[in-house]
Protein backbone atom coordinates (compact mmCIF):
# COMPACT_ATOMS: atom_id res chain seq x y z
CA UNK A 1 0.00 0.00 0.00
CA UNK A 2 2.91 2.37 0.47
CA UNK A 3 2.91 4.98 3.24
CA UNK A 4 -0.32 4.91 5.23
CA UNK A 5 -1.58 8.43 5.87
CA UNK A 6 -4.03 9.15 8.70
CA UNK A 7 -6.64 10.54 6.29
CA UNK A 8 -6.38 7.68 3.79
CA UNK A 9 -9.63 5.92 2.86
CA UNK A 10 -9.43 2.72 0.79
CA UNK A 11 -12.38 2.02 -1.51
CA UNK A 12 -13.57 -1.55 -2.00
CA UNK A 13 -15.78 -2.89 -4.76
CA UNK A 14 -17.48 -6.26 -4.69
CA UNK A 15 -20.73 -8.10 -4.07
CA UNK A 16 -19.88 -11.16 -1.97
CA UNK A 17 -20.07 -10.34 1.76
CA UNK A 18 -17.52 -12.95 2.85
CA UNK A 19 -14.92 -11.81 0.30
CA UNK A 20 -15.49 -8.17 1.19
CA UNK A 21 -15.05 -8.99 4.87
CA UNK A 22 -11.76 -10.74 4.13
CA UNK A 23 -10.57 -7.79 2.06
CA UNK A 24 -11.41 -5.48 4.95
CA UNK A 25 -9.41 -7.67 7.33
CA UNK A 26 -6.38 -7.48 5.03
CA UNK A 27 -6.68 -3.70 4.82
CA UNK A 28 -6.88 -3.38 8.58
CA UNK A 29 -3.79 -5.57 8.93
CA UNK A 30 -1.93 -3.21 6.61
CA UNK A 31 -2.97 -0.23 8.71
CA UNK A 32 -5.68 1.33 6.54
CA UNK A 33 -7.55 3.90 8.67
CA UNK A 34 -10.96 3.63 6.94
CA UNK A 35 -12.92 1.86 4.18
CA UNK A 36 -15.39 3.11 1.60
CA UNK A 37 -17.80 0.89 -0.34
CA UNK A 38 -18.17 1.63 -4.07
CA UNK A 39 -21.88 1.82 -4.91
CA UNK A 40 -21.60 4.38 -7.68
CA UNK A 41 -19.46 3.09 -10.56
CA UNK A 42 -21.67 2.57 -13.67
CA UNK A 43 -19.21 0.84 -16.04
CA UNK A 44 -20.34 -2.28 -17.86
CA UNK A 45 -17.47 -4.39 -16.50
CA UNK A 46 -18.39 -3.38 -12.97
CA UNK A 47 -22.06 -4.17 -13.60
CA UNK A 48 -21.12 -7.59 -14.95
CA UNK A 49 -19.32 -8.27 -11.67
CA UNK A 50 -22.40 -7.12 -9.75
CA UNK A 51 -20.97 -4.20 -7.85
CA UNK A 52 -20.88 -0.44 -8.12
CA UNK A 53 -24.08 1.47 -8.93
CA UNK A 54 -26.06 -1.65 -9.80
CA UNK A 55 -25.97 -2.63 -6.11
CA UNK A 56 -28.25 0.31 -5.33
CA UNK A 57 -31.02 -1.88 -6.78
CA UNK A 58 -30.28 -4.51 -4.11
CA UNK A 59 -30.15 -2.77 -0.71
CA UNK A 60 -30.41 -6.09 1.13
CA UNK A 61 -27.12 -7.23 -0.39
CA UNK A 62 -25.52 -3.88 0.44
CA UNK A 63 -26.63 -4.29 4.04
CA UNK A 64 -25.16 -7.81 4.12
CA UNK A 65 -21.83 -6.54 2.75
CA UNK A 66 -21.66 -3.70 5.26
CA UNK A 67 -22.59 -5.98 8.14
CA UNK A 68 -19.89 -8.46 7.11
CA UNK A 69 -17.27 -5.70 7.00
CA UNK A 70 -18.48 -4.35 10.35
CA UNK A 71 -18.20 -7.82 11.89
CA UNK A 72 -14.72 -8.42 10.48
CA UNK A 73 -13.13 -5.08 11.42
CA UNK A 74 -13.66 -2.03 13.58
CA UNK A 75 -12.64 0.35 10.79
CA UNK A 76 -14.96 3.25 9.94
CA UNK A 77 -17.07 2.34 6.90
CA UNK A 78 -18.69 4.80 4.50
CA UNK A 79 -20.58 4.35 1.24
CA UNK A 80 -20.35 6.28 -2.04
CA UNK A 81 -23.37 6.08 -4.31
CA UNK A 82 -25.43 7.94 -6.91
CA UNK A 83 -28.70 9.78 -6.29
CA UNK A 84 -30.63 7.26 -8.40
CA UNK A 85 -30.31 4.41 -10.89
CA UNK A 86 -32.02 4.35 -14.29
CA UNK A 87 -35.78 4.82 -13.75
CA UNK A 88 -35.39 4.59 -9.96
CA UNK A 89 -34.85 8.31 -9.76
CA UNK A 90 -36.84 9.82 -6.91
CA UNK A 91 -36.13 11.34 -3.53
CA UNK A 92 -38.07 8.49 -1.93
CA UNK A 93 -35.95 5.80 -3.60
CA UNK A 94 -32.74 7.45 -2.39
CA UNK A 95 -34.04 8.03 1.13
CA UNK A 96 -35.27 4.44 1.40
CA UNK A 97 -31.90 3.12 0.23
CA UNK A 98 -29.90 5.25 2.67
CA UNK A 99 -32.23 4.38 5.54
CA UNK A 100 -32.01 0.66 4.79
CA UNK A 101 -28.22 0.70 4.82
CA UNK A 102 -27.50 3.07 7.69
CA UNK A 103 -30.19 1.79 10.05
CA UNK A 104 -28.78 -1.76 10.03
CA UNK A 105 -25.03 -1.11 9.90
CA UNK A 106 -22.37 1.15 11.38
CA UNK A 107 -22.28 3.33 8.25
CA UNK A 108 -22.52 6.98 9.33
CA UNK A 109 -21.07 8.73 6.26
CA UNK A 110 -22.65 8.82 2.81
CA UNK A 111 -20.88 10.34 -0.20
CA UNK A 112 -23.39 11.25 -2.90
CA UNK A 113 -22.47 11.79 -6.53
CA UNK A 114 -25.23 14.22 -7.49
CA UNK A 115 -26.13 12.41 -10.73
CA UNK A 116 -28.16 9.27 -11.25
CA UNK A 117 -26.42 6.31 -12.88
CA UNK A 118 -27.51 5.22 -16.34
CA UNK A 119 -26.67 1.53 -16.59
CA UNK A 120 -28.03 0.68 -20.03
CA UNK A 121 -26.54 1.52 -23.42
CA UNK A 122 -24.36 4.41 -22.31
CA UNK A 123 -20.56 4.54 -21.90
CA UNK A 124 -19.33 4.93 -18.34
CA UNK A 125 -17.54 8.18 -19.21
CA UNK A 126 -20.83 9.79 -20.24
CA UNK A 127 -22.23 8.97 -16.81
CA UNK A 128 -19.91 11.73 -15.56
CA UNK A 129 -21.62 14.39 -17.67
CA UNK A 130 -24.88 13.29 -19.31
CA UNK A 131 -27.18 12.76 -16.31
CA UNK A 132 -27.90 16.27 -14.98
CA UNK A 133 -26.58 17.32 -11.61
CA UNK A 134 -29.18 17.54 -8.87
CA UNK A 135 -27.62 19.13 -5.80
CA UNK A 136 -31.04 19.74 -4.25
CA UNK A 137 -31.57 16.00 -3.88
CA UNK A 138 -28.31 15.76 -1.95
CA UNK A 139 -29.33 18.70 0.22
CA UNK A 140 -32.62 16.93 0.86
CA UNK A 141 -30.75 13.89 2.16
CA UNK A 142 -28.76 16.10 4.53
CA UNK A 143 -32.03 17.51 5.88
CA UNK A 144 -33.72 14.12 6.17
CA UNK A 145 -30.73 12.42 7.85
CA UNK A 146 -29.19 15.04 10.17
CA UNK A 147 -27.43 12.33 12.18
CA UNK A 148 -25.41 11.22 9.13
CA UNK A 149 -22.36 12.89 7.62
CA UNK A 150 -23.35 13.78 4.04
CA UNK A 151 -20.65 14.57 1.45
CA UNK A 152 -21.47 16.21 -1.91
CA UNK A 153 -19.65 15.03 -5.04
CA UNK A 154 -20.00 15.86 -8.72
CA UNK A 155 -19.22 18.89 -10.86
CA UNK A 156 -17.56 20.95 -8.11
CA UNK A 157 -15.00 23.11 -9.92
CA UNK A 158 -14.71 26.48 -8.16
CA UNK A 159 -14.15 27.95 -4.72
CA UNK A 160 -17.65 29.44 -4.80
CA UNK A 161 -19.13 26.02 -5.55
CA UNK A 162 -17.25 24.56 -2.59
CA UNK A 163 -18.57 27.34 -0.34
CA UNK A 164 -22.14 26.79 -1.50
CA UNK A 165 -21.84 23.07 -0.87
CA UNK A 166 -20.38 23.49 2.60
CA UNK A 167 -23.31 25.73 3.52
CA UNK A 168 -25.69 22.79 3.01
CA UNK A 169 -23.77 19.56 3.67
CA UNK A 170 -20.94 18.30 5.87
CA UNK A 171 -18.27 18.10 3.20
CA UNK A 172 -17.44 18.31 -0.49
CA UNK A 173 -15.52 15.72 -2.53
CA UNK A 174 -13.44 16.77 -5.53
CA UNK A 175 -12.68 14.33 -8.34
CA UNK A 176 -11.85 15.34 -11.91
CA UNK A 177 -11.09 18.89 -10.79
CA UNK A 178 -8.12 17.59 -8.83
CA UNK A 179 -6.84 15.62 -11.82
CA UNK A 180 -6.88 18.67 -14.08
CA UNK A 181 -5.94 21.29 -11.48
CA UNK A 182 -4.14 19.68 -8.52
CA UNK A 183 -3.13 23.04 -7.06
CA UNK A 184 -6.80 23.97 -6.64
CA UNK A 185 -6.44 22.80 -3.05
CA UNK A 186 -4.11 25.76 -2.51
CA UNK A 187 -7.00 28.04 -3.46
CA UNK A 188 -9.20 26.17 -0.98
CA UNK A 189 -6.64 26.57 1.81
CA UNK A 190 -6.41 30.29 1.11
CA UNK A 191 -10.05 31.17 0.42
CA UNK A 192 -11.89 28.72 2.70
CA UNK A 193 -9.45 28.16 5.55
CA UNK A 194 -7.66 31.51 5.48
CA UNK A 195 -4.16 30.08 5.07
CA UNK A 196 -1.52 32.52 3.69
CA UNK A 197 -0.48 30.30 0.78
CA UNK A 198 0.02 30.67 -2.96
CA UNK A 199 0.26 28.17 -5.79
CA UNK A 200 3.87 28.85 -6.77
CA UNK A 201 5.38 28.39 -3.31
CA UNK A 202 3.33 25.27 -2.59
CA UNK A 203 4.21 23.72 -5.94
CA UNK A 204 7.91 24.44 -5.45
CA UNK A 205 7.71 22.89 -1.99
CA UNK A 206 5.92 19.66 -2.91
CA UNK A 207 7.36 18.93 -6.36
CA UNK A 208 10.72 17.45 -5.18
CA UNK A 209 8.93 15.02 -2.88
CA UNK A 210 6.46 14.09 -5.61
CA UNK A 211 9.29 13.35 -8.05
CA UNK A 212 11.04 11.21 -5.43
CA UNK A 213 7.81 9.26 -4.98
CA UNK A 214 7.42 8.75 -8.74
CA UNK A 215 11.04 7.55 -8.98
CA UNK A 216 10.32 5.03 -6.23
CA UNK A 217 7.22 3.81 -8.07
CA UNK A 218 9.26 3.43 -11.25
CA UNK A 219 11.93 1.48 -9.37
CA UNK A 220 9.27 -0.79 -7.86
CA UNK A 221 8.22 -1.94 -11.33
CA UNK A 222 5.69 0.56 -12.68
CA UNK A 223 6.64 0.73 -16.38
CA UNK A 224 4.12 3.17 -17.84
CA UNK A 225 5.89 6.52 -18.12
CA UNK A 226 2.60 8.10 -19.18
CA UNK A 227 0.99 6.92 -15.95
CA UNK A 228 3.93 7.99 -13.83
CA UNK A 229 4.08 11.51 -15.27
CA UNK A 230 0.33 12.13 -15.11
CA UNK A 231 0.43 13.67 -11.59
CA UNK A 232 2.81 16.42 -12.71
CA UNK A 233 1.22 17.28 -16.07
CA UNK A 234 -1.05 19.96 -14.63
CA UNK A 235 1.27 21.38 -11.97
CA UNK A 236 2.05 24.32 -14.25
CA UNK A 237 -0.46 26.69 -15.82
CA UNK A 238 -0.93 29.04 -18.75
CA UNK A 239 1.65 29.10 -21.54
CA UNK A 240 4.40 27.40 -19.56
CA UNK A 241 2.03 24.61 -18.59
CA UNK A 242 0.83 24.04 -22.14
CA UNK A 243 4.38 24.04 -23.49
CA UNK A 244 5.55 21.68 -20.74
CA UNK A 245 2.71 19.22 -21.41
CA UNK A 246 3.41 19.26 -25.14
CA UNK A 247 7.12 18.56 -24.69
CA UNK A 248 6.43 15.88 -22.09
CA UNK A 249 3.87 14.19 -24.36
CA UNK A 250 6.37 14.06 -27.23
CA UNK A 251 9.06 12.58 -25.00
CA UNK A 252 6.70 10.02 -23.51
CA UNK A 253 5.54 8.97 -26.99
CA UNK A 254 9.10 7.86 -27.69
CA UNK A 255 8.55 4.98 -25.33
CA UNK A 256 12.01 3.40 -25.39
CA UNK A 257 13.77 6.71 -24.84
CA UNK A 258 11.37 7.74 -22.08
CA UNK A 259 11.72 4.46 -20.20
CA UNK A 260 15.51 4.70 -20.25
CA UNK A 261 15.59 7.67 -17.86
CA UNK A 262 14.28 8.30 -14.38
CA UNK A 263 10.92 10.01 -14.22
CA UNK A 264 12.30 12.91 -12.19
CA UNK A 265 15.03 13.50 -14.78
CA UNK A 266 12.52 13.38 -17.62
CA UNK A 267 10.21 15.88 -15.92
CA UNK A 268 13.03 18.29 -15.05
CA UNK A 269 14.42 18.15 -18.59
CA UNK A 270 11.01 18.81 -20.13
CA UNK A 271 10.34 21.65 -17.70
CA UNK A 272 13.68 23.29 -18.46
CA UNK A 273 13.05 22.99 -22.20
CA UNK A 274 9.58 24.51 -21.75
CA UNK A 275 10.97 27.46 -19.80
CA UNK A 276 13.60 28.07 -22.46
CA UNK A 277 11.01 27.84 -25.23
CA UNK A 278 8.62 30.28 -23.55
CA UNK A 279 11.40 32.74 -22.71
CA UNK A 280 12.69 32.61 -26.29
CA UNK A 281 9.28 33.23 -27.82
CA UNK A 282 8.66 36.16 -25.49
CA UNK A 283 12.02 37.71 -26.36
CA UNK A 284 11.30 37.27 -30.07
CA UNK A 285 7.88 38.87 -29.71
CA UNK A 286 9.42 41.91 -28.00
CA UNK A 287 12.08 42.28 -30.68
CA UNK A 288 9.57 42.41 -33.56
CA UNK A 289 7.05 44.73 -31.90
CA UNK A 290 5.79 47.17 -34.56
CA UNK A 291 6.84 50.81 -34.41
CA UNK A 292 4.31 53.33 -35.65
CA UNK A 293 1.63 55.78 -34.64
CA UNK A 294 -0.27 55.33 -31.43
CA UNK A 295 -3.21 52.99 -31.90
CA UNK A 296 -6.68 54.45 -31.91
CA UNK A 297 -8.69 54.15 -28.73
CA UNK A 298 -12.18 52.80 -29.12
CA UNK A 299 -14.66 53.90 -26.48
CA UNK A 300 -18.12 52.54 -25.94
CA UNK A 301 -20.74 55.27 -25.90
CA UNK A 302 -24.27 55.03 -24.61
CA UNK A 303 -27.03 56.65 -26.59
Q: Which residues are catalytic?
A: 41
Rounded CA gap, 113 and 41, in Å? 10
165 marked among binding-site residues? no
134 marked among binding-site residues? no
48 marked among binding-site residues? no
**Secondary structure string (H, E, C) spanning the chain:** CCCCCCCCCEEECCCCHHHHHHHHHHHHHCCCCCEEEEECCCCHHHHHCCCHHHHHHCHHHHHHHHHHHHHHCCCCEEEEEECCECCECCHHHHHHHHHHHHCCCCCCEEEEECCCECCCCCCHHHHHCCCCCCHHHHHHHHHHCCCCEEEEECCCCCHHHHHHHHCCCCEEECCHHHHHCCCHHHHHHHHCCCCCCCHHHHHHHHHHHHHHHHHHHHHCCCCCHHHHHHHHCCCCCHHHHHHHHHHHHHHHHCHHHHHCCCHHHHHHHHHHHHHHHHHHHHHHHHHCCCCCCCCCCCCCCCC
Angle at 137 between CA 81 and CA 76, to 5 degrees: 35
Contact 88, 95 (CB under 8 A): no
176 marked among binding-site residues? yes
Q: Report how far apart, in Å, the C-alpha atoms of 41 and of each of 53, 135, 184, 298 are.
A: 5, 19, 25, 54
126 marked among binding-site residues? no
11 marked among binding-site residues? yes
Rounded CA gap, 220 and 242, in Å? 30
List residues forming the annotated binding site: 11, 80, 113, 153-155, 175-176
Amino acid sequence: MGPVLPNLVVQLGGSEPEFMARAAEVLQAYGAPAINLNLGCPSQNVQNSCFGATLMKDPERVVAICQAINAATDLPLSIKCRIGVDHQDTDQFLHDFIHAVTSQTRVTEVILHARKALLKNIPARKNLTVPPLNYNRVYGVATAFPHLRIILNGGIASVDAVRQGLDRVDGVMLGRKMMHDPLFLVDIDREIYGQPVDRTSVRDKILPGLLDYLDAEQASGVKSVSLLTRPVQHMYENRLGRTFRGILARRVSRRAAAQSVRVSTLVRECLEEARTTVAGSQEKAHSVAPVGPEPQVVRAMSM
